[in-house]
Structure 1
Amino acid sequence: MSVKDCFADPVLNSAIKKTWRRLMPFMFIMYFVAFIDRVNIGFAKQAFAADINLSDSAYALGAGIFFASYAICGVPANLMMNKLGAKRWLGATTIVWGALSALTGFVSNEIEFIILRFLLGMAEACFYPGILLLAAIFFPNKIRGAAIGIFVLGVPLALTLGSPLSGALLELHGLFGKPGWFWMFVIEGIPAVILGLICFFYLDDTPAQARFLTQQERAALVNQLVSEQKKVETSSVSSALKNLKVWHLALIYGTIQIGVYGLIFFLPSQVAGIMGTTVGFKASLVSAIPWAISALGVYFIPRYTDKHTNKRVSISILCMVAAAFGLALSAYASPVIAIIALCLCATGFLAVQPIFWTFPPQLLSGCGLAAGIGFITTIGAVCSFLAPNIRVYADQYLGQAIDGAGLVVLSLFTIICALLIAMLGKTYNRLSE
């Protein structure tokens, strides 16, 4: 998790290195825990549903309503963080979503499950946009892609390690008379509560308040960030939400999320189908391969674009084209080639996101940046909710005419995403210089 010198000023470089060492490991651990808490319901679905008489429709509603409440709260949550500061806002909301995740272990009926999932979506809507805002507040443009890349590494590692971890906790079934899913939810929720408490003492709200920097380092970092903010177009909430470029970025992020969640929710069953087996331990291990490989892309590709900031748009396009090709190829190729294709699309989808999040701070600042990030993640949440339905409906209504119709349709959405990124033109490359 090291970072090299990016500027001629050694004091500024020292400030960035200290900020990196201070924030990156902590941000990574927070998102790793958050993502496990977000998706662990899938590992316990069968036993959990049987024990509380949860119907398939109620499970689908509970899984989807997470994204609905997430979408509602994206903008106001980030405005609250901008007002209250990172350590208070992230500390309090992280404790809340950790507690809510743990409380899922005490659910006894469908209504409680749906309510908890709705509340969990609200709480996590305060976290992800907030962490993105924190990265924009503390890191200059030249290092921001790599910084968010380290943060996003939590996703492939959570998807790689989350399966065996959750599976091991489910094996505690019967301990003190409790089902395995009880222990999974409670034990995986506790780390978030602990991290939330640490936030109050560990985080600083702005570089100007950073206790871990010397006075000279604080001044150098603040001056660099202020000089970058002078290039932006707007800093007010209303102008940010009316800005067509913000809507353009939101559409790009939304189409990325359609591909990501269209892949995540079905990857174990798709891999099992490729292997000619049922979803089990062997299939889960193979399902982890694309996410493990994608971690390399998430680490190295944003670092490359930070060194060549004028290539951020073109590299983003290549990521989406690779992802689209991988999705389509995985529907028709032999088993080995299909797994390689899934590695390609997982890498494209995850590696593009740290690069994407370098664009909003080049356009917005202050309250406008907080609102813009919140709005973009809101559109992403809506598209995340739609993603599995798009794939299922494509298979149902086009499956007889087109083999692998769901994957083909997801591939088309990904091509649309690449075209939307291409429409960014040279604007963001110029601002990155």
Structure 2
Amino acid sequence: MVDEKQLISKITWRLMPFLGILYLIAYIDRQNVSYAKLEMVGDLGMSEYAYGLGASLFFIGYFIFEVPSNLLLDRFGASKWFARILISWGMVTVALAYTQNATMFYILRFLLGACEAGFFPGVLYLLTLWYPSSYRGTMVGLFMIFSAFANAIGAPLGGALLDLNGLYGMAGWQWVFLVTGGPAIVAGIITLFYLPDLPSKASFISESEKAWLKDRLAAENSDMEQNAADGFRALINPRVLLMSLCYVGFPLAAYGLSYWLPTIVKNFGVSNTTNGFLNIIPWLLVAVALYAVPAMADKAESKTPYIVIPALVGAVSLVLSAVIPDHTLQFIFLCISAAGIFAGQPVFWSLPSRFLQGAGAAAGLAAINSVGNLGGFVAQNVVPWIKDTTGSTIAPMFFLAACLLAAALLVLVIGRMVPRAPGRDNLGSADTAHVK
């Protein structure tokens, strides 16, 4: 007899803290440019717009290599492929510390995106191999909480590293890249030995637990469409295409806010170190929201409200942050908007696995994430352009709010196209017979 709760707990304690730490490292390596920007722009003689273009090239490399990377993960296994991803992006991050000009910055940011491509959707795909659907929203939320921790850690870290300007003859922005790149290389080596590729190869669960998990997942997958496991067909699935378009609004708002928030706070007249510590606050609020909202959604029959309502709250808060002149209130609404932008995303990512499996899930998740993350490219170009055009650091929030609102409206359409998830107690007697 298998105790379901005990098995899920065992898997969670083995996988989620480790995967979360990897995501924390990844997110810090993505966002370190927002702090390096505060000094790097002047040192390299770049405009805000030119720097935004270079920073955004990450998402072009990410877009091009995302689907191939996830399909290779399905072929070679999580441990080997995640190790390759981590080590390569760590090396590129370190190389960014030695950027000499704008062209070199553009090339390295593109390479960083190409190297990291496949990590986030790879983890989402991995969760479909380890967890029944009724647990995935919560697990994606737990995983994404580490992105909030990354921003909370990266904020004071980035500010403090900038204040090392001149140490050993290196600029503060160079220290930002050197210190944040090394952990990815170390983590990549550890991944080779720690991360199991599949439940069937895991030594920490018993044979009976492996059999129960296999039967449970097979029961859920049996109701999926005939071609759900076909990688190519997943790429042209109408639901995948619509979800890809819809998801653009979430990364666009997320990256637009996280990339620009240090600049907004700097205009409050604070030091680099104070700026970093103030930027901890919104991400602590995001962490709470990423736990609470998916946990509630997993218990609810309809998931759509748990995606739409947080997005609407985020959009309204972005608008209020732009129209209210008081700096304290601006910051409060920016904190609320950050929570609204992120809170519903784990619930959103639980939707594709209801109609995709195997290579189809690997390709479909990667496609949605790669197209959606083009929003990051748009944000890191449009946001500084709006600032340069208007002369206001807060005006770009109107644009982010409009994109987030459009995403929320599209979720309402998608909610009618995706099948409901099976409950934990209605998968059939053949499945639940294994449960104590």
Establish whether TM, by shorter chain, passes 0.5. Answer: yes
Q: Are 1:31 and 2:55 counterparts?
A: no
When normalised by structure 2's length, the TM-score is: 0.89
Question: Secondary structure of the residue that 1:153 maps to in structure 2?
Answer: helix
**Residue type matched to 2:250 in 1?**
I
Q: Equivalent residues in 2 for 1:223-262 (5 A)?
A: 223-233=215-225, 234-262=228-256
Structure 2: tracts of 5 or more residues without a match: 424-436
Q: Which moved more, 1:17-26 or 1:255-264?
A: 255-264
CA deviations 1:342-368 (Å, max 9, x no partner) are 222111111111111101111111111
Question: Secondary structure of the residue that 1:235 maps to in structure 2?
Answer: coil
**Residues 93 and 124 in structure 1, CA contact (< 8 A), matched pair in contact too:** yes
CA positional deviation for 1:182:
3.1
For the residues of structure 2 that align with 1:49 and 1:408, how far apart are their CA atoms? 25
Change beyond 3 A, Cα 1:386–1:341? same
For the residues of structure 2 that align with 1:358 and 1:284, how far apart are their CA atoms? 33
**Residues 16 and 221 in structure 1, CA contact (< 8 A), matched pair in contact too:** no
Change beyond 3 A, Cα 1:50–1:356? same
Q: Are 1:425 and 2:415 counterparts?
A: yes
For the residues of structure 2 that align with 1:71 and 1:350, how far apart are their CA atoms? 21
**Partner residue of 1:407 out of 375, 379, 397:** 397
For the residues of structure 2 that align with 1:395 and 1:104, how far apart are their CA atoms? 25
CA positional deviation for 1:145:
1.1
**Residue type matched to 2:162 in 1?**
L
Q: Are 1:300 and 2:292 counterparts?
A: yes
**Residues 253 and 404 in structure 2, CA contact (< 8 A), matched pair in contact too:** yes
Change beyond 3 A, Cα 1:104–1:15? same
CA positional deviation for 1:403:
12
Q: Are 1:324 and 2:318 counterparts?
A: no
For the residues of structure 2 that align with 1:215 and 1:10, how far apart are their CA atoms? 10
**Partner residue of 1:211 out of 203, 206, 214:** 203
| CA RMSD, Structure 1 to Structure 2 (Å) | 2.4
**Which residue number corresponds to residue 152 of structure 1?**
144
CA positional deviation for 1:64:
1.4
CA positional deviation for 1:199:
1.0
**Which residue number corresponds to residue 315 of structure 1?**
306
For the residues of structure 1 that align with 2:166 and 2:319, how far apart are their CA atoms? 44
For the residues of structure 2 that align with 1:267 and 1:56, how far apart are their CA atoms? 14
**Partner residue of 2:86 out of 70, 82, 94:** 94
CA deviations 1:157-199 (Å, max 9, x no partner) are 2112212112323344444433333333222111111111111
**Residues 313 and 428 in structure 1, CA contact (< 8 A), matched pair in contact too:** no
Change beyond 3 A, Cα 1:20–1:65? same
For the residues of structure 2 that align with 1:75 and 1:145, how far apart are their CA atoms? 22
**Which residue number corresponds to residue 79 of structure 1?**
71
CA positional deviation for 1:373:
0.9
For the residues of structure 1 that align with 2:174 and 2:274, how far apart are their CA atoms? 24
For the residues of structure 2 that align with 1:297 and 1:18, how far apart are their CA atoms? 24
**Residues 68 and 385 in structure 1, CA contact (< 8 A), matched pair in contact too:** yes
Q: Which moved more, 1:224-233 or 1:16-25?
A: 224-233
Q: Equivalent residues in 2 for 1:1-400 (5 A)?
A: 10-52=2-44, 56=48, 58-233=50-225, 234-273=228-267, 275=268, 277=269, 280-308=272-300, 310-333=301-324, 334-392=326-384
CA positional deviation for 1:432:
4.5
CA positional deviation for 1:393:
5.2
CA positional deviation for 1:245:
0.6
**Residue type matched to 1:322 in 2?**
V
CA positional deviation for 1:14:
2.4
Change beyond 3 A, Cα 1:422–1:366? same
**Which residue number corresponds to residue 432 of structure 2?**
none
**Residue type matched to 1:255 in 2?**
G
**Which residue number corresponds to residue 431 of structure 2?**
none
Change beyond 3 A, Cα 1:217–1:165? same
**Residues 231 and 362 in structure 1, CA contact (< 8 A), matched pair in contact too:** no
Q: Using CA pairs below 8 Å that are at least 6 residues apart, which structure has the higher relative contact order?
A: 2
CA positional deviation for 1:425:
3.5
For the residues of structure 2 that align with 1:336 and 1:174, how far apart are their CA atoms? 33
Q: Which moved more, 1:209-218 or 1:126-135?
A: 126-135
**Residue type matched to 2:208 in 1?**
Q
**Residues 148 and 357 in structure 1, CA contact (< 8 A), matched pair in contact too:** yes
Change beyond 3 A, Cα 1:279–1:352? farther
For the residues of structure 1 that align with 2:46 and 2:388, how far apart are their CA atoms? 24
Q: Which moved more, 1:20-29 or 1:185-194?
A: 185-194
The total of aligned residue pairs comes to 420
For the residues of structure 2 that align with 1:403 and 1:90, how far apart are their CA atoms? 37
Question: Secondary structure of the residue that 2:196 maps to in structure 1?
Answer: coil
Q: Which moved more, 1:11-20 or 1:195-204?
A: 11-20
**Which residue number corresponds to residue 434 of structure 2?**
none
**Residues 313 and 422 in structure 1, CA contact (< 8 A), matched pair in contact too:** yes
CA deviations 1:92-114 (Å, max 9, x no partner) are 11111111111222333333322
Q: Which moved more, 1:261-270 or 1:187-196?
A: 261-270
When normalised by structure 1's length, the TM-score is: 0.90
**Residue type matched to 2:145 in 1?**
L
**Residues 325 and 411 in structure 1, CA contact (< 8 A), matched pair in contact too:** yes
Change beyond 3 A, Cα 1:107–1:283? closer
**Residues 263 and 393 in structure 2, CA contact (< 8 A), matched pair in contact too:** no
For the residues of structure 2 that align with 1:89 and 1:403, how far apart are their CA atoms? 40
**Residues 58 and 114 in structure 1, CA contact (< 8 A), matched pair in contact too:** no
Question: Secondary structure of the residue that 2:279 maps to in structure 1?
Answer: helix
For the residues of structure 1 that align with 2:45 and 2:397, how far apart are their CA atoms? 32
